[in-house]
A and B are shown apart, each in its own frame.
Chain A
Amino acid sequence: MAYLQQVLFLVLVATATFLLVRRIKFIKTSINLGKPQDLTDNKPARWRNMLLVAFGQQKMFKKPVPALLHLFVYVGFVLINIEVLEIIIDGLAGTHRIFAPYLGTFYTVLLNFFEFLAVGVLVACVFFLIRRNILKVPRFHKPEMKAWPFLDANLILVFEIILVVAILKMNATDQLLQARGAEHYTATGRLFFSSLLMPFFDGFSTPTLVGFERAFWWVHITGILAFAIYVTYSKHLHIFMAFPNTWYASLKPKGEITNMNSVTNEVKIMLGLQPADAAPPAEVERFGAKDVTDLSWKNIMDAFTCTECGRCTAECPANQTGKKLSPRKIMMDTRDRAEEITRSLLAGGKGADDGKFLLDDYISREELNACTTCNACVEACPVLINPLTIIIELRRYLVMEESSAPAEWNAMFQNIETSFSPWKFAPSDRFKWADELRN
């Protein structure tokens, strides 16, 4: 029986590892659909960003209440999982609480601390469910948050509740078994929060209790492994991606739009500024972006990092005034399209050549045209995602490849070309503002 459990456990861990590795490869392929971009300069600043923004959750604290609750879930998630190490050793070796005898009183303190965190996670998740479903915080109920995104968000919270409840119940039954002197049940000392649950289980016989304890143990570890796999399919992936994403985030002032060097070459030739012996510029496949394959890999990493919290959309002036643009939807569309292409590629399909594009099939021109480039979305993101660069790249494609800017913009372009000002004024009138002062 004991061996059977160990074998089962091994199969479980191996299956989970296999699924996880496969999915990580999928995500890597997706991100690599993007174009190369070197983002490794100034490493000290990058480490600092990661430490402050991802690890330290600096930007979350703009909203203190959700920040504090989120901190509980985050610290709980990171620290409680230290216990997984013990569970895995126990599971494979057929031992029970292998660390307890070595750590002694410290084990009791540690487990009490984990239980405190587990209760914190529980309270936070219940609060989050209430905020999302009963208080209906507006940013959780925008049009892009229907169907799967809505279900996904709730599933994660329910999942986390199940996991922490399993720990507490497991510890409660374990303590009862210790008190009854059941075999293998090493003394842990009193675990405060779970001991409150002991009366619920006191009426059961010892074999039934062992059954319960084992069941909760299995629910907890299977749950954690299932959760780890689920996360990679979910918006919840930010728990891992926040770290690389903040490390690779732009260090430039938010106002700076990256120069298109391919255009610089052509402009220099047109203005006769290119030395005669310069090599002819490489043929540019496409100006701007029509599909995710035209974006930078960082744009796609951003998309996989997005946890759909909607702080960007809540701050977007266009969205606030009822326009179609939602920066969160830009990120969700980018991820959906990247996943679609990757799925097709891995199945030997057409990949990006399926006749569909990020532009129009996912993101409409109306959305793109509504952006004021105000950077409120960029500022709002707690994990340094930049929806604005995607919007600009798609606009570049529309203007430079399709010449399909809104008519008023075409007029503005023409004014700049012919009278060097976005408005139609005679260049010779440019200095007339001074007349009044000089007379």
Chain B
Amino acid sequence: MSRNTTINIPTMAELAAKGESPEVLFWVGCAGSFDERYKAVTRAFVKILNQVGISFAVLGEEETCTGDPARRAGNEFLFQMQATANIQVLEGYNIKKIVTACPHCYNTFKNEYPALGGNYEVVHHATFLQQLINEGKVKVAGGGAFKGKKITYHDSCYLGRANAIYEAPRAVLEALDADLVEMKRCKTNGLCCGAGGAQMFKEAEPGQKEINAERTDDVLATGAEIVASACPFCMTMLEDGLKNNYPEESVKVLDLAELVAKSSGE
């Protein structure tokens, strides 16, 4: 894809006005919409969607929080208010399939909205990217930017233990021809970044160490140059952990979408 091609980011409202409906809704999520760092992930993923010519749309300003942090903090009312309102919007556009780059949104849509009447085919972008690579739609050039580079993958709890997605993100990294190294705690034993269960939105309770510091120790122990993540909260926690505990190290945190976009010529 040449750099001059315009990138299309249709909204559901625009498509509906034209009487069209996309194959899949890209649910951006609050971090993907507002967090400076994760906006880059959103953009990388949208570029890939454009590149492969997938019919997609976003909700734009109509999107709201899925309610995940409220439910996990104990505020079931707020969760259900959000969920019920979101389900109405999704129903209005007759949405059948959702892809999202946030494991928390993914888990909520997939496992928790059905009880409130919202049933969708939900795909996390790690699985989505793996499928695109398998189908040959995304060409990650062999000998590309990450060939032979030591990359480790940090399992997001809400992809991994919560939903048993361990292989898709690793398959993406392997397709990059990267040298995938595992941390001592990975897959079912993966250590949380510290942000789940609404911890992202408050200071940690008193203790001896921050959880993300413990996790960045694991990252450093692998000797990897890059730690791949697939979750906005994990990304923030890992970047902060590296910055605060290993300021002299140059380990980068990159999302799977960024890695794929970069190695497919973006």
Residues of A near any B CB (own CB < 8 A): 62, 252-257, 259-260, 263-264, 266-268, 270-271, 273, 287-288, 315, 317-318, 320-325, 366, 369-376, 378-379, 392, 394-400, 405-406, 408-409, 411-413, 416-417, 420-423, 425, 427-434, 436-438
Contact = CB atoms under 8 A, between A and B. Distances in A.
Across the A-B interface, the 8 shortest Cβ-Cβ residue pairs: A255-B162, A322-B208, A395-B74, A373-B197, A420-B64, A374-B192, A322-B207, A399-B74
B46 interface: yes
24 contacts: A255-B107, A255-B111, A267-B80, A320-B214, A321-B209, A372-B157, A372-B192, A372-B194, A372-B195, A372-B197, A373-B157, A374-B196, A397-B74, A405-B75, A408-B202, A412-B198, A413-B75, A416-B69, A420-B64, A420-B65, A430-B63, A431-B60, A434-B46, A437-B47
Given A371-B197, A374-B197, A437 B74 contact: no
A254 B61 contact: no
Contacts of A421: 30, 33-34, 64-65
Interface stretch (B81-89, B92-100, B243-251, B253-261): B81-89
Interface in B209-234: 209-211, 213-214
A317 B84 contact: no
B205 A324 contact: yes
B195 A399 contact: no
Contact of A417 (B28, B74, B78): B78
Q: Which of B75, B206, B213 has the most CB of A within 10 A?
A: B75
A12 B80 CA distance: 58
B204 interface: yes
Nearest to A388: B197
Nearest to A316: B192
Contacts of B116: 259, 264
Given A412-B198, A416-B65, A431-B33, 15 more contacts: A253-B163, A256-B111, A256-B112, A259-B116, A318-B211, A320-B211, A322-B206, A376-B191, A399-B73, A399-B74, A405-B73, A412-B73, A412-B202, A423-B34, A429-B34
Contacts of A273: 84
A399 B214 contact: no
Contact of A318 (B28, B77, B203, B205): B205
A345 to B, nearest CB: 29
Given A324-B205, A433-B42, A416 B9 contact: no
A152 B65 CA distance: 48
A406 to B, nearest CB: 5
Contact of B77 (A255, A263, A428): A263
B115 interface: yes
Interface string B104-148: 000100111001100000000000000000000000000000000
Contacts of A252: 111
A257 B206 contact: no
A412 to B, nearest CB: 4
B237 to A, nearest CB: 10
B70 to A, nearest CB: 6
A398 B198 CA distance: 15
Given A252-B111, A254-B162, A315-B189, A260 B199 contact: no
Contacts of A320: 191, 211, 214
Q: Which of A318, A374, A394 has the most CB of B within 10 A?
A: A374
A317 B71 contact: no
Nearest to A417: B78
A423 to B, nearest CB: 6
Contact of B69 (A263, A323, A366, A422): A422
Contact of A437 (B46, B60, B76): B46
A421 B74 CA distance: 17
The SS class assigned to the A binding surface is helix
A107 to B, nearest CB: 45
Nearest to B157: A374
B210 A379 contact: no
A163 B120 CA distance: 58
Given A271-B84, A421-B34, A366 B205 contact: yes
A257 B73 contact: no
Given A315-B189, A317-B192, A408-B201, A396 B111 contact: no
A414 B164 CA distance: 32
B169 interface: no
A253 B197 contact: no
A268 B112 contact: no
Contacts of A411: 201
B7 interface: yes
Contacts of B197: 371-374
B67 interface: yes
Contacts of A437: 7, 9, 43, 46-47
A423 B36 CA distance: 12
Nearest to B72: A373
B158 interface: yes
B188 A412 contact: no
B85 to A, nearest CB: 7
Contacts of B46: 434, 437
B34 A430 contact: yes
A390 to B, nearest CB: 12
Contacts of B115: 259, 264
Interface string B20-52: 000000001010111100010011001100000
Contact of A370 (B47, B205, B208, B210): B205
Contacts of A394: 74
A392 to B, nearest CB: 7
Contacts of A315: 189
Contacts of A416: 64-65, 67, 69-70, 78, 82
A318 B189 CA distance: 15
B184 interface: no
Given A254-B162, A413-B70, A369 B205 contact: yes
Contacts of A434: 9, 43, 46, 58, 60
A280 B206 CA distance: 44
A271 B81 contact: yes
A406 B202 contact: yes
A436 B32 CA distance: 14
Given A317-B211, A431-B60, A268 B84 contact: yes
